[in-house]
Amino acid sequence: MNFTLSPEIEAVRDMVSRFMKNEVVPVMEEYEKRQEFPRELVRKAGEAGLYGAVFPESVGGSDMGYMAAAVIIEEMARQEVRFTSCNNQQGGTCPTCIYLGGTPEQVEKYVPDMIAGKTIGMMSLSESGSGSDAAWAMKTFAKRDGDVYRISGEKMWASIANETDVGILFARTDRDAGAKGVTAFIVEPKKYPGFTAKPVDLLGMSKAFRTNIVHLDDFVVPVENRLGEEGEGFKIIMRALQPGRLNIAAKCVGLAQACFEEAVRYANERTVKGQPIGKFQMIQDFIAEMATAIEASRGLVYRTAYCMDNGQPSNRIASIAKYHASQTAKMCADKTQQIFGGYGFAREYRISWMRVYADMLYNGEGSANIQKIIIAEDALGYKLADRHHGKTGLRDVRKDQVAADAA
């Protein structure tokens, strides 16, 4: 198994690096100060192809695959992790859900504009009383009323729901059917009444990309915007979370690399008793641990992408990659902050808020403990992580030219 990146993917990495350095990094702090969502930057990123690597050309993607997608988000996170807060909404789980379970007409209508950054996406699954048991504990209910569904309830942790044009929202259509009672819907909050998003104030996190509580009061969704059949929502989201975990794992590697680079720079600049602190063995111990963990995590991320690109079972390896990479990001942020000492808590230094993102990514897209359960149950033979490979009945994002079917 050769993880040497092709010249094409290396060229993509260089392009992403230039885009982030020229378009995003110089202005991101101003967006943060204004607490303004950078819609124009998202559009530019979409035009540059940063969200469409795994989607076919028929919907505006580049069809470069999961390896390219992993490299893209790794480089984006290395440069400015806050700007990656909408990657899942624009090029990950949100458009993937539509592509996996939508009709050709739905795919053609919604996916191209989302990955082009023209419309802002959203994924709303979690609720205040649920976590890893989101489907089983879901209380939000969708009742059919003629040609529409009326959805009532409350959602939690809905990233950029206050800005979204088109999103995916999950609600029960059968209160007594457990996970099989959950249905997925394509929602358009600016077009239909009953949807209110309220940003949650999170310490140290972006003021431009906000996470939200969503209140649903007879929120109207046309029947034609149901994604798949009633009761298929859990199947769709579980399939979409698989590449979503690759997305988060790659983001963790990029963040860990950014922390490492900050640590190396500061260790060479900061002097004690006339010499750089990097000369001290305790600092070298930190640097060595970070360098080793990053290489190991990157290898797991690239192996996951390789499996996905080659149609191999990947749920188990995606969980391993997400768990290891999130551990690495958390460790690198912690050690970098220790190297910075008191300055590591000063807002002017990136590590002060990168530490918060490392903690957040440790829990996002399936917490570390959930990944450990998946890994352990597979190892013990209790529940094989890849048991559903190729058996979901959903189309394959990397193979099916869906939009062509709608023409």
- Long-range contacts formed by 362-365: CB under 8 A, 24+ apart: 362/326, 362/327, 362/329, 362/330, 364/248, 365/88, 365/241, 365/244, 365/245, 365/247, 365/248, 365/322
* Two tokens, residue 60: 């505006």
CB 194 within 8 A of CB 151: yes
CA distance 48 to 236: 28
Residue 187 φ then ψ, to 5°: -115, 150
**In the block, residue with structure tokens 């249905």:** 183
* Calculated CA dihedral for residues 232, 237, 239, 245, nearest 10 degrees: -170
CA distance 123 to 112: 17
Please give the C-alpha separations between residue 94 and each of 23, 133, 211, in angstroms, as whole numbers: 25, 20, 15
Contacts of 328 (CB under 8 A, 6+ apart): 252, 253, 256, 293, 294, 296, 297
365 is catalytic: yes
CB 336 within 8 A of CB 226: no
**In the block, residue with structure tokens 């769709």:** 236
Contacts of 89 (CB under 8 A, 6+ apart): 114, 120, 121, 122, 123, 159, 160, 164, 167
Residue 364, judged by CB atoms within 10 A of its CB (0-12, 13-18, 19+), counts as buried
Number of H helices, E strands in the chain: 14, 10
Question: How big is the CA angle at 84 (ends 215 and 400), to the nearest 5 degrees?
Answer: 85
- Binning the chain into helix, strand and coil, the percentages to the nearest 5 are 55, 15, 30
* E strands, 26-166, in order: 123-124, 141-145, 148-159
Which residue out of 80, 232, 262, 365 is catalytically annotated? 365
Q: Which amino acid is at 257?
A: Q
Please list the active-site residues. 365
